[in-house]
Amino acid sequence: KTVQILDELELPRPCIDMATVGYNVEWSQELKLEQSLEEYVKAAMLIRVLQAAGVTGGPADHEPVLFDMSVGYDLKGIQQPRVRAFIEGMLDASATIERLRPELPAEYRDLDFQPKLSDTLTLSTFHGCPPDEIERIIEHLFEAHGLNCIVKLNPTLLGPEALRGLLHDRLGYHEVQVPDAAFEKDAHWQQALDFVGRLGAKADALGLGFGVKFTNTLIVKNHRGFFPATEAEMYLSGPPLHVLAMHLVQRLRAELGDRFPISFSAGIDKQNFADAVALGLTPVTVCSDLLKAGGYGRAPAYLEALAARMRAVGAPDIDQYIIRAYGLGQAALDGVALPPAQRALCETALNTGGDLRTAAGEHFPAWVSAARLHNTAHYVPGTADDPRYAQAKNAKPPRKVGSHLALFDCLTCDKCVPVCPNAANFTLDGPATLPRQVLARTASGWQVVEEGAVALSKKHQIANYADFCNECGN
């Protein structure tokens, strides 16, 4: 999803390893810039069609679907005309909408498609991007495009001692080695604090939004032998990254309070999604877990788990859930300056299951903000000692059935079909008996000769679009 000026890349295959945690050696850009814009527009139009067709239902019919641009990786590239055209096309997609409109079924062609797809952007930067360049990129996006911006930061901000202490000593991933150069080249903690503060002030002056995202993947040495030997380094995601990123959330809030919104992407799954929401992180995004068996079909369980947690504490909405999630609502309230009568109303609502928003009135945002800080201090320390994030729990690869894969009649467990985000694997109906045809050379030339038959006994056959496949091994 992250677009960049270098949009003709040769990617090694395989490029994704999801056998245990998550490793990759890929780039995010596999389409031309112009194609990327078109896919964003198509997505927005199709969602509007689904709403009009009554397919979505519930909140999706009443709330806007927000698109967030993701752009990288350096200032020179982002200033190029083609990247600028992508951004402007997201701010006003009218021309692309009108070009695509005739491709829709007649009953949906005249829908009110919104031309402004997005006015928010998350910046991804190279590992080793200098802190002053990160700052200049965000300033450019503020000034040239009027965008609300999020800057995505690297886990190396923890510093070598803290990061390796968590990764090796607490979580047990001793085989995972982060190159010293990663810490030397990336922004350091104080540098990041400084430019985040300056960019926040600039955003306020311009009437724009600004926040941070934790985190990028972690650059590590290629030690597993899964990727081509030409790749000296690879990028870690999944469970261990969750712990590293959460510790950065805690560190930022310890320094700056709840001043900046925090977006989060690191090892999210159905078990910790509700915790990330309880910390007030938004948006919470997912990748590695959806590359496991079930694919996008795993996503509903995230919302089901969140809804169950909300019901358990009697929270009708996210903000009230943040206050009630860990039973720290009173501690958060104690830090908010309130008139005595208002405080009594809040305490009564908190203890009797009442509406906290109504009770707190204009002080409700301050209560939620205080709860975010308390929840962060409560949740994060335990992640480093939680076995589900440790190496021992994530060392065993998926069980293999031991059967030899032939051209036809595989096991047809069908796990490979939904798990692929590129829809590279698909099924062909069966069973069937097909003539076995071979080319034979005769005196008069090549001829097709039938030599028996091929009996296909399984319920269907699974085929693969090679150009869409990342050879992930799932």
- Domain of 357: which CATH number? 3.20.20
Is residue 259 included in any domain, yes or no? yes
Residues 383 and 462 in one domain: no
- Which residue from 400, 402, 407 is spatially nearest to 458, judged by alpha carbons? 407
Is residue 3 included in any domain, yes or no? no
Could you tell me the end-to-end alpha-carbon distance of the chain, in angstroms, rounded to an integer?
22
Residues 110 and 239 in one domain: yes
Residues 383 and 429 in one domain: no
- Cα separation, 272 vs 325, whole angstroms: 13
* Structure confidence at residue 61 (pLDDT): 65
The one-digit pLDDT tens for each residue of the chain (474 residues) are 788 887 777 778 888 898 899 999 987 777 899 999 999 999 999 999 999 998 887 765 667 788 999 998 899 999 999 999 999 999 999 999 999 999 999 999 999 999 999 999 999 987 788 999 999 999 999 999 999 999 999 999 999 999 999 999 999 999 999 999 999 989 999 999 999 999 999 999 999 999 999 999 999 999 998 898 899 999 999 999 999 999 999 999 999 999 999 999 999 999 999 999 999 999 999 999 998 888 889 999 999 999 999 999 999 999 999 999 999 999 999 999 999 999 999 999 999 999 999 999 999 999 999 999 999 999 999 999 999 999 999 998 877 777 787 888 888 888 888 888 888 999 988 788 889 899 999 999 999 999 999 888 888 999 999 888 877 766
Is residue 229 included in any domain, yes or no? yes
pTM: 0.91
Residues 356 and 326 in one domain: yes
Is residue 470 included in any domain, yes or no? yes
Is residue 258 included in any domain, yes or no? yes
The angle subtended at Cα 397 by Cα 394 and Cα 401, nearest 5°, is 150
> End of a domain among 394, 423, 438?
394
Residues 99 and 48 in one domain: yes
Place of tokens 């999706």: 60
Q: Please give the residue range of the domain that contains residue 441.
A: 399-474
> End of a domain among 370, 394, 418?
394
Is residue 1 included in any domain, yes or no? no
Residues 422 and 369 in one domain: no
The β-bridge relationship of strands 210-214 and 233-237 is: unpaired
> End of a domain among 334, 361, 394?
394
* Structure confidence at residue 151 (pLDDT): 97
- Which residue from 255, 16, 285 is spatially nearest to 152, judged by alpha carbons? 285
- Cα separation, 166 vs 271, whole angstroms: 21
Residues 176 and 221 in one domain: yes
Residues 390 and 442 in one domain: no
What torsion do the CA atoms of 167, 171, 175, 176 make, to the nearest 10 degrees? -30
- Cα separation, 16 vs 125, whole angstroms: 20
* Structure confidence at residue 369 (pLDDT): 98
Confirm if 138 and 151 have CB atoms less than 8 A apart: yes
Residues 330 and 452 in one domain: no
* Structure confidence at residue 473 (pLDDT): 64
Residues 161 and 286 in one domain: yes
Return the amino acid letter for 167.
L
Is residue 6 included in any domain, yes or no? no
Structure tokens at 190: 């104080």
- Which residue from 222, 228, 239, 232 is spatially nearest to 20, judged by alpha carbons? 239
How many separate domains does the chain show? 2
Is residue 21 included in any domain, yes or no? yes
* Structure confidence at residue 201 (pLDDT): 98
The DSSP result for 194-254, as a single string, is: HHHHHHHHHHHHHT--EEEEE-PPEEEE--SS-S-TT--EEEEESHHHHHHHHHHHHHHHH
Residues 443 and 362 in one domain: no
- Residue 214: other Cβ atoms inside 10 A: 24
Residues 318 and 451 in one domain: no
Confirm if 115 and 107 have CB atoms less than 8 A apart: no
